[in-house]
Amino acid sequence: MTRLRWKLLAAMVALVAVTVGITALFTRRVTHDQVRRLLIVHNPSALDEIARPLENHLRTTGGWRGVASVIARVAAASRHRVVLASMTGDVIAVSDDLRGARVAVTADDQVTATLDRDGRRQFGARVRPRVIDDPAGRGVARVFAIPLDDLDDPVAQREIAAIDRRLIAIFAVAMAVALVLTLVVSRRITRPIEQLTRAVRDIGGGNAAAHVEVSGRDEIARLASAFNAMVDARTAQEALRRRMVGDVAHELRTPLTNLRCELEAFQDGLAVPDADRVASLHEEVLHLQRLVEDLQDLAIAEAGALQLQRERVDLGAAITRIAGLQAEVTAASGLAVDADLVRLRQIIHNLLANALRYGTAGEPVRIVVERAGTDAAVSVIDRGPGIPAHHLDLIFERFYRVDDDRGRERGGAGLGLAIVRRLVELHGGRVWAQSVEGAGATFTFTLPLAATEP
């Protein structure tokens, strides 16, 4: 998991570095432009020194003839680009560095020049001009002063260097914070994955109850919850498997032990194979045969290999015939289903055997057949002691029985209800149990009603 953590760290650091680098370059460019603009705007004394000789020239000559030499002198002394324009924006004269360039002045004090120096490039700046007044005090022209190269000016260089140092410090702190946050986030992402890996290894090592800690509500937390649920289900299935193996061994051991004892007694001359003893041995063999047949039916049904021979039947009439005198049947008419009659008989017989085995003597078993929406519902009701609530979800498992004594006179092998569930599910229905302790139990299963056309 270390590799994943370092991959996440490298990816996030690279992303942060690229983002911070682009931001730094953009910020530095914008900052330099702003410093240049501030130096231009907040240097009114230089503009006054440029405008004063131009005003004197206007008063002396009464016009702008010969003003180019004055502009050249003041531009060289102040290290500025100088543009003299009329109040309407017409360019009157420019300093020497702008000669040969196309200079334009807009109404919002934007000065632009197309220069052919060091390649064709555009120059533009919005500056606050100084108005030149004539002797009568009327504004007749505007003068614009733009530093030749702000970054070459010592004051500008000091300001830019100070800003660059602050920007470097800020971005270094940002990178450090991003690195720490990346470490924290990558650790937070990989920790539950590491726990899942350890839990999987523990399960592979034999610790079937390994769980992981669930924290948060994100996708990894949901994965951890699903893993814990899988572990619980696997543990339950493993317990059922062990119990099933023990139950099968128990169910086979008892009749086989009886058979062995009786046969050894016959061999040793300790018993005579009379009719009663032979009948007892025959009963044991039949019990083994039923157990093997039930296991085979259940295995085939659970494997999905059981083929149903469906036919259209009146469910109420069919159950009445199957139940015979064993139960009181109350059936609604006209409930047609497509079912395998042999498997339907097996379902009813298993449920009836369970109800008769646990029901109260003298109390009849009732079967109710009725419509339940698009299904037909069949309920087998007894008046026995009932089933405790914590057993209701487990009684359809293989070899599960409410009583632990496992006496044959009060219970079968525990396969009948498991077979019922699989056969009902193969028919497209479902089965469940309801019970009130001391008031009997009700086993209900549903089958889909047949379509109009068979």
Full DSSP string of 214-227? --SSSHHHHHHHHH
Distance CA 351, CA 366 (A): 11
**Which amino acid appears at position 357 of this protein?**
R
Q: How many CB atoms lie within 10 A of CB 98?
A: 22
Dist CA 454 CA 296 (whole Å): 31
Q: What does the pLDDT read at residue 406? A: 45
Alpha helices in 42-146 (DSSP H): 44-61, 67-78
pLDDT at 118: 52
Q: What is the pLDDT of residue 394?
A: 77
Q: Cβ-count burial of 381 within 10 angstroms (0-12 exposed, 13-18 middle, 19+ buried)?
A: buried
64, 83 Cβ separation under 8 angstroms: no
Q: What's the pTM value of the predicted model, to 2 decimals?
A: 0.47
pLDDT computed for residue 151 by the predictor: 46
Are 182 and 12 in contact by the 8 Å Cβ rule? The answer is yes
Q: What is the pLDDT of residue 180?
A: 83
pLDDT of res. 408: 47
Mean pLDDT in consecutive groups of 10 residues from the start of the chain, 454 residues = 68 78 77 63 68 87 88 85 87 84 79 63 68 85 76 63 80 81 77 77 72 73 80 75 70 78 84 82 79 73 73 92 88 90 88 82 86 92 82 75 53 72 90 81 92 57
Contacts 24+ apart (CB under 8 A), 22-27: 23/171, 24/167, 24/171, 27/167
Contact call for residues 338 and 310 (beta carbons, < 8 A): yes
| Residue reference for tokens 């064993």 | 326
- Say what the pLDDT of residue 265 is: 85
What is the predicted pLDDT for the residue at 445? 94
d(CA 39, CA 382): 101
* Pairwise CA distance, residues 165 & 155, whole Å: 16
Instruction: Give 147's strand partners.
Output: 80
| Close Cβ partners of 296 (under 8 Å, ≥ 6 residues apart) | none
* 368 backbone dihedrals φ, ψ, rounded to 5°: -120, 125
The answer to whether the CB of 428 falls within 8 A of the CB of 448 is: yes
Q: Beta 336-339 vs 431-435: how paired, if at all?
A: unpaired
Give one word for 122, left, alpha or beta, with left for phi > 0 and alpha for psi -120 to 50: beta
Question: In terms of DSSP bridges, do strands 311-314 and 91-94 run parallel, antiparallel, or are they unpaired?
Answer: unpaired
pLDDT given at position 12: 74
